Amino acid sequence: MADNARAKRLADLIREVVAQKLQRGIKDPRLGSHVTITDTRVTGDLREATVFYTVYGDDEERAAAAAGLESAKGILRSEVGRAAGVKFTPTLAFVMDALPDNARTIEDLLDKARQSDEKVREASAGAKYAGDADPYRKPDEDDETDDGAE
């Protein structure tokens, strides 16, 4: 079993090699400049690597990019093996990164919360307290003081 530092170094190398090869070496039009490699993770035994990517575009371009990555998997694995110089080149699995979708969902929820806060702020702009402005009792200021004299 390899140590975590070695797996991390190999994952970083795989990310760099795959990104460079996609940018310069592969002529597939489905893998244009709209594919970005975001992260790579390698298993502890260095046998399998998961490459996370994002695609700038609509669902059709995402599907085309996924098909292009699957067809270029062998070439990319060969380049990784050449660059890494390890006994066994890890298999590559490409997974669409869900981070942009999650970020968009969070931004939508934050926008809804801001709108709700604004509605509450507008509704409370002219509102008055139901009772006194200061509901807490203060020391008896206007009551008679008992000085002991009758």
- For residue range 16-67, what is the model confidence (pLDDT) as tens digits? 999 888 888 788 777 776 788 889 999 988 899 999 998 887 888 888 888 8
Asked if pLDDT for residue 141 goes beyond 70, the answer is no
Q: Which of 12-16, 63-67, 130-134 has the lowest mean pLDDT?
A: 130-134
Q: What is the pTM of this model?
A: 0.67
| Rounded Cα–Cα distance for residues 42 and 6 (Å) | 10
- Domain spanning 1-98, CATH class: alpha beta
Average pLDDT, the chain: 83
Domain ranges of the chain: 1-98
| Rounded Cα–Cα distance for residues 89 and 37 (Å) | 19
- Beta sheet of 91-96, edge-to-edge order: 35-42, 48-55, 91-96
